[in-house]
A and B are shown apart, each in its own frame.
Chain A
Amino acid sequence: GENVEQHPSTLSVQEGDSAVIKCTYSDSASNYFPWYKQELGKRPQLIIDIRSNVGEKKDQRIAVTLNKTAKHFSLHITETQPEDSAVYFCAASGNNFNKFYFGSGTKLNVKP
C-alpha cells in the first residue's frame, strides 16, 4: 500500500516568517493530495489540496507544490501568524479516492 512520510515533525518559526512542510509518497498511482490543519482538541480541516495534473496551487498565504517525478509535495505558508499554530497533516489518495493515507503530522509553532 501507500506510504506517506512527513517532515519535520515539529517546526518553530517567528511571526511573519515562512514555513515549509514536506511529504513524500511511495505509490505512483496516487493522484490527489490534500492538506489538513488540526487545532488542539479539534477535528482536522482541509486547507488546500492539489491533483496530480497540477504542479502548484495557491490560496492567499498558503500554497502547495507537487513533484510527481520525485513523488513529493510541500505546503508553504507565508507571512505566518500565531493563529497558524496547529498540527498539519498531508495525505495521498489513489485513483478511486477511497483510501487516504496520512503523514504523521507537523506541529507548527508560530512565535509572536
Chain B
Amino acid sequence: NAGVTQTPKFQVLKTGQSMTLQCAQDMNHNSMYWYRQDPGMGLRLIYYSASEGTTDKGEVPNGYNVSRLNKREFSLRLESAAPSQTSVYFCASRPAGAQYFGPGTRLTVL
C-alpha cells in the first residue's frame, strides 16, 4: 500500500515551458487535491476533485489545469510556466475526514 505517490520529485523548467505533475493514490479515496506551498504561506488549494469525473477550482487556480483520469489518478498541468509558479506542490487524497498527502514535487521555474 503505497498511499499517495507523486512524480517527479524535482523539476526545473524555463519560463514558458509546460509540464504535468502526476499523482496517484491506492487507498480508493474519492476526493483528491492539489496544493502549492510557499514559504510563510501555508498550503493553498489549487484544484480539487470530489469524485471521479469532477474537478473544481480552489483558491489559486490561475495558470493551472487538472485532469481526474480515473479514481486513482489526478494530474496537474502547467501550460506555460512562470517564475511565480516556483513552489512545492503537494497532492492529497481524502476518505471521510482528513487528507493524506503525497511526498511533494519541488518545482523551480527559471
List residues of chain A with CB under 8 Å of any chain B CB: 1, 6, 9, 32, 34, 36, 42-46, 49, 89, 91, 96-105
Partner among B48, B59, B99, B101 whose Cβ is within 8 Å of the Cβ of A1: B59
Q: Chain A residue with minimal CB distance to B59?
A: A1
Q: Given that A32-B97, A97-B96, A98-B50 are contacting pairs, would A104 and B31 also be in contact in the complex, using a CB cutoff of 8 Å? A: no
In the complex, identify which listed stretch (B37-45, B69-77, B79-87) lies at the interface while the others stay far away: B37-45
Are A99 and B98 in contact (CB-based, < 8 A)? no
A34 touching B40 by the CB < 8 A rule? Answer: no
Residues of B at the A interface (CB closer than 8 Å) are 31, 33, 40-45, 48, 50, 56, 58-59, 90, 94, 96-104
Q: Is the CB of B43 within 8 A of A44?
A: yes
* A49 in contact with B97 given A97-B31, A102-B43 (CB within 8 Å): yes
Expressed in whole angstroms, the minimum distance between the Cβ of B57 and any Cβ of chain A is 10
- B90 neighbours in A (Cβ, 8 Å): 43-44
Q: Is the CB of B98 within 8 A of A34?
A: yes
In the complex the two chains form, is B44's CB within 8 Å of A102's CB? Answer: yes
Closest to B99 in A: A100
Query: 7 tightest CB-CB pairs across the interface, nearest first?
Result: A102-B42, A43-B101, A34-B98, A102-B43, A46-B98, A104-B42, A98-B50
Bound Cα distance A9, B97 (Å) = 26
